[in-house]
Amino acid sequence: MAAIIFANCAVLDGTQPQRREDHHVLVEGAHIREVSDRPIRSEGAETIDLDGRTLMPGLIDAHVHALAVDAALARLGERPLTIVAFEAAKVLEGMLARGFTTVRDAGGADGGLAEAVATGLVRGPRLFPSGLALSQTGGHGDLRPRTRSVTSCACCEYGAGLGRIADGVDECRRAARDELRKGATQLKIMASGGVASPYDPIWNLQYSEDEVRAIVEEARAWHTYVLAHAYTPEAIRRSIDFGVRSIEHANLIDRATAEHVAGADAFVVPTLVTYDALHRFGKQFGIAAESLAKLDEVRTEGLKSLEVLQSAGVRIGFGTDLLGPMHRYQAREFVIRAEAMTPYDIICSATVVNAELLNRAGELGVVAPGARADLIAVDGNPLADIGLLDGQGEHLALIMKAGEFYKRP
């Protein structure tokens, strides 16, 4: 079992609001064995002097779409699945280079892609796939043009995509079971209108109570949970009431609804950078005019939602939700959030909070004995300059996932 000592580092994770200076960390195999404020001795261990750099847990992004290799999602179905899979591998490789050692895919990726990462076929972050997101006909996951007829014929399924259509309790149960069968570690539903789907208004409520409860029941039978795309207070509240554990986006949330979410001990995963990127580059990358027209309804409310969520005591996760060439702006989420959150709170979101969301508290998101050896070393202090986590990993001297180096000092 390989052993490595990281000496002379400043440890920073979401457990303490300051760096722990002059620390030393022993990694054995895939796990952290010891964290100490004194030099560590271990026979046969390689010692790497980090010279005061900040040693952090690998970052966690709880809302990605690895298969969204084209910003115009409706075009994915026209691409061969093999090409999409190879392009998704490049997307994941870029995420790992930015210091994200774990990601939760919020629609599109299946157990096969997660296995490809786990076995080393794809160089990328540990992947928690949601499978295909479940959408009602005409919902946020229904990207068919209005000229195409509605069909439930299995032989009409084609190409890649991020979602599947399921209507009625029986269909929803079957779809949920099928995605879990294919390796989904949690399930995603569309509970309101969205930006990328051109025909459903943002305020549109999607899925009935019985349908949502059926999906939640199937997830719980697998000891997992449901996340819901939802923007408005009404969509968020009913999702929580029906058993959903994680709300995605929530740009239009109000204080009363935020308190309701906090009271249910649920999570909210804002994704502010995707609206920034769509505003700047959406037209260039082929986003439909109808979608761009809806963008301003939610974009300008993003920072305000962070303030509302914090004041209500909601557990705030870290997500990005980027599409196509815009994946490169993933780490810009840190900088955008800094307008409404402290660097420490942002780091908490991308480490310990997301680990709790993934049901991996103590295993991911911390620098502690027994945790996975997912580690990054930053040139500087992110508490003083959160921008050190932005970019393509230029300020990261070290990236390690499960004890394996992907970048060395």
What one-character-per-residue DSSP string does 293-312 give? Answer: HHHHHHHTTHHHHHHHHHHH
Residue 190: strand pairing partners? 229
- pLDDT tens readout for residues 266-322: 999 999 999 999 999 988 888 888 888 888 888 889 999 999 999 999 999 999 999
Q: Strand 163-165's sheet: what is its strand order?
A: 163-165, 133-135, 187-190, 226-230, 246-249, 267-269, 315-316
Residue 150 confidence class, pLDDT cut points 50, 70, 90: low
Mean pLDDT of 372-378: 98
CA distances from 349 to 331, 342, 344 (A): 13, 11, 9
How much of the chain is helix, strand and coil, in % rounded to 5? 35, 20, 45
Q: Which helix (H) or strand (E) holds 184?
A: none
Residue 56: strand pairing partners? 376
Residue 156 confidence class, pLDDT cut points 50, 70, 90: very low
CA distances from 140 to 58, 238, 248, 272 (A): 32, 17, 13, 18
Tell which wins on pLDDT, 355 or 295.
Answer: 355
pLDDT for position 151: 60
Q: Flag whether pLDDT at 153 surpasses 50.
A: no
Residue 96 confidence class, pLDDT cut points 50, 70, 90: very high
Q: The pTM is what? A: 0.96
Tell which wins on pLDDT, 76 or 242.
Answer: 242
Q: Flag whether pLDDT at 154 surpasses 70.
A: no
pLDDT for position 158: 52
Q: Which helix (H) or strand (E) holds 89?
A: helix 81-97
What proportion of the chain, given as a percentage, has pLDDT over 90?
A: 84
Residue 10: strand pairing partners? 54
pLDDT for position 148: 72
How many Å separate Cα 120 from the centre of its chain?
21
- pLDDT tens readout for residues 168-222: 999 999 999 999 999 999 999 999 999 988 889 999 999 999 999 999 999 999 9
- pLDDT tens readout for residues 49-83: 999 999 999 999 999 999 999 988 888 888 899 99
Averaged confidence pLDDT in the chain? 94
Taking phi first (over 0 means left), then psi (-120 to 50 degrees means alpha), and beta for anything else, what does residue 99 get? left
Helices then strands, each counted (H, E), the chain:
12, 18
Q: Flag whether pLDDT at 357 surpasses 50.
A: yes
What proportion of the chain, given as a percentage, has pLDDT over 70?
A: 97
Residue 159 confidence class, pLDDT cut points 50, 70, 90: low
Whole-number Å distance between alpha carbons of 334 and 350 = 9
pLDDT for position 295: 87
Mean pLDDT of 116-120: 97
Mean pLDDT of 79-88: 93
Residue 161 confidence class, pLDDT cut points 50, 70, 90: confident
Q: Flag whether pLDDT at 117 surpasses 70.
A: yes
